Structures are given as C-alpha cells and as structure tokens.
Amino acid sequence: MSGNEIFKPKNVAAWALKKKDHTLVVSKADYTPPPKNYVAIKVVDVAVNPIDWIMQDQDLFGIDYPNVFGQDVAGEIVEVGEKVEEFRVGQRVIAHCASYTEPAKGGFQKYTIVHHNRVAELPYEIGTAQGVVLPLGISTAAAGLYQKDFLNLPFPTLKPDALDRTVIIWGGSSSVGSCCIQLAVASGATVVTTASPSNFEYCRKLGADQVFDYHDDDVEDQIVKALKGKTVVGAYHAVGADGAVQACARIVDRTKGKAIVVTVRGVPEKGIPSSVRAKSIGSGAIFDNDVGPYIWRDFLPKALDQGKILPKPDPLIVGEELRSVQLGLDKQKKGVSAQKVVVTNIS
C-alpha cells in the first residue's frame, strides 16, 4: 500500500507516561503513515533490552513524555512510504526502531514506523519470536566492530577471507556478544571471548575460537597467554560488571596490535592504561554512515537466509500482548543468561 492510500488501523501502545515511572500504561495511540524512506510495521513480537528498564530508572536522554520505548520488533509491513522500493506490503521483517525520539518510532506498540535502512527481511523458516532477538544486538555489535574510529574491521561477507587478526569479546553469551562473535567471524577474524562455563559451548557454536571463564582470578593472564604471537584488533566489551572494561584495557595493553577497547557502557574515569584508547558505543551512529545500510540491507537479509547469522540468543518468552511488556522489563532487569526476553502476539 502506498503512502497516498488511506490506511488508518487502530493503534495501541505501552506508554511511558512520565520520567522515572516504573509502570507502562497500555492505551490508544495514533497510527502514523510512513513518511518518505520509512515503512509501517504491524508488530507481532518485541524483545526487551537493558536500556528499556534503565530508561524507567533514569532520565537518561532527557526525552519528552509521554513516550513509547522499545527497539526490537518483528512483524509484517503494512505500508511503505515514498522512495522505498525494496519492501512490499505483507513482508515479514525484523527492525531496529529509533526509540526515544518520538512515540511513533517506538517499538512497544501495535504499529510503528521505521526507516528502511533499519529493516531486514525475515526468512519464513525463522519465526518472528526468534528473529526479534537480533535488531539492537546487531546494530550495537556493528557499531563497535566496523566504524572507522572503533575496531574498524572489514565488513562481513557470506564467504570471508581469513583476516589473520583476533578480536577479544568480553561477554560472548550476551545478546550483543552473540552478535559480535558472528559478525566478527563473518569478517574473517578469530574470536577470543569470555563467558560462564555453562555457556562455553554456546559461544563455540557461534564461532568463537577460544572461550575463557571471566570468573577466574587469572583470566587476564590466560587470555594474554592465548594471544601470544597473534595480532589483536582490539577488545569489545559487550557486557560485564564493574571492572570489566579495565580488564579488557589491561589485556590489549599486554598484547600485539591495536590498544583499543570499545564498550557498551560508559568509559571508566580510572583504571585505563594511558596507552589504551577506550570508546563508548552508540548503536544509532551506524545509520549516519555506511555501516548501518551495509549491515541491515546488504548483508543481514542474505546472511539470515543462508544461515550465516543465527538469531541468538534464544528467546525467553515471558508473556503475550502489550500488557506483558512491563513484565518483560522487570524480568530483564533481574538478569538473564544466554537468553533474550521476548513478548509475543502484540497484534
């Protein structure tokens, strides 16, 4: 359906009514036709990320309220805006919503609008509840791995050449870590990662070459020893308690290669060796350069179709419909391991 045709379904959203409010309220919302370069998606499943409950605890971005949170959606395209030629009504997709900007772009609602560069076709053999685990993880992983001022790996391909470079990923079983491992391998890099012992095999199946227990007192020495004679492109801190960024920094300071750490958290004020550069990742930045369009439009649809990127970690379904989204935020806040919190049957 084109943007010129009348299409006004009834929309409902899980609203964050005011800052630091810990209860989402399900209520009606306007349906917004997709503007130029956007598509409208009928949301079937949503996934929950730490940022969603963090936004309930903190006035993190100084956004306007009421607002609609949520960045990971899977569903069906119901309308396409002008200049969008690669999508059609009825296609199954996953998308990375530009949440926290304006309510129409949030994920926790029945109908959302998303820029076409943030959308990827979902193969029919992958269920929407499985595919929805990927969007923010893929974008965040790509932001740290591929941007020029970060690890600057070559773009992933379906048949990568061996790079003879190693990437350290701290927290390989996390949502972002799972995407990091797969993307780095698709770039031809060797991956060394950390996880709990129960998730060692999980990380290996995703492509990690070696996995270390981050609980070990001597884990830094173990990793440095394993990297002897290898060239490191840097470390990616995907998850971890206080001190993990500093641990990554100390490791790259003791190995051959680029002394850089990229982190999903803020850069610590203390504990980073002066010879090491540390940078904080923002997933949305990839849509301001060539990384986002390449990953989401050129690589991801084909990689999903050919099984080169798996939708991992597995979904932990906590409920159905928008009324269950707050339950999902609460569950994610308590912590999950090698799983992604998902709410199904939104529409």
Q: Which residue has the tokens 């076409």?
A: 116
Per residue in 240-274, pLDDT (tens digit) is 778 999 999 999 999 999 999 999 999 999 999 99
Q: What is the mean pLDDT of residues 83-89?
A: 97
pLDDT of residue 3: 47
Q: What is the mean pLDDT of residues 35-48?
A: 98
Contact 234, 261 (CB under 8 A): yes
Q: Does the pLDDT at position 1 exceed 70?
A: no
Q: What is the mean pLDDT of residues 297-314?
A: 98
pLDDT band for position 143 (cuts 50, 70, 90) = very high
How high is the mean pLDDT of the chain?
96
Angle, alpha carbons 133-210-134 (nearest 5°): 10
Alpha helices of 214-324 — where are they, by DSSP H?
A: 219-226, 244-253, 291-293, 300-305
CA distances 345 to 76, 125, 128, 171, Å, are: 12, 18, 10, 30
pLDDT band for position 2 (cuts 50, 70, 90) = very low
Per residue in 318-339, pLDDT (tens digit) is 999 999 999 999 999 999 989 9
Mode of pairing for the β-strands spanning 256-257 and 231-237: parallel
pLDDT of residue 242: 83
pLDDT over 70 for what percent of the chain? 99
Q: How far apart are the first and last CA of the chain?
A: 19
Q: What is the mean pLDDT of residues 180-186?
A: 98
All structural domains of the chain: 11-134+311-344 (3.90.180.10), 138-284 (3.40.50.720)
pLDDT of residue 305: 98
